[in-house]
């Protein structure tokens, strides 16, 4: 699946929000992201994009009962994205690590945090 195909899901209304991050892309080609993130470097990996947009992500997931779909390699990316999601929830809800883990477990149980991972 390429970037244009994913963007087509937004155009058709199948997705309400899409943040794309392809680690092999040229960082100069990345689009400017939402304000409120202090780094001037564009997001290189999924977890960077997630942390950069943590207020928006946690609002969609927790207040709007949204869904988070993550696709990629299981060896490193899946763990790093999960850790970033925990950090985003911990920071935005101002809870400890255990409560953040419980929130992520609930998202998984409700099938609102899904990973399509391989390798």
Question: Averaged over 35-56, what is the pLDDT?
Answer: 74
| CA 105/CA 119 separation, integer angstroms | 23
How does the average pLDDT of the chain come out, rounded? Answer: 84
Give strand ranges (E) for 1-119.
Answer: 68-73, 113-118
Supply the pTM of this predicted model.
Answer: 0.76
State residue 33's pLDDT score.
Answer: 45
CATH number of 3-118: 3.40.50.80
């Amino acid at each position: 699946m390429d970037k244009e195909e994913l963007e087509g899901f937004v155009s058709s209304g199948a997705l309400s929000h899409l943040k794309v991050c392809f680690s092999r892309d040229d960082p100069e080609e990345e689009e400017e992201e939402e304000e409120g993130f202090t780094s001037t470097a564009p997001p290189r990996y999924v977890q960077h994009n997630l942390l950069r947009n943590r207020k928006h992500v946690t609002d969609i997931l927790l207040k709007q009962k949204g869904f988070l779909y993550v696709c990629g390699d299981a060896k490193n990316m899946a763990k790093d994205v999960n850790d970033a999601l925990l950090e985003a929830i911990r920071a935005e809800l101002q809870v400890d690590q255990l409560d953040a883990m419980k929130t992520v477990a609930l998202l998984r149980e409700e099938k609102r945090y899904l990973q399509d991972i391989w390798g």
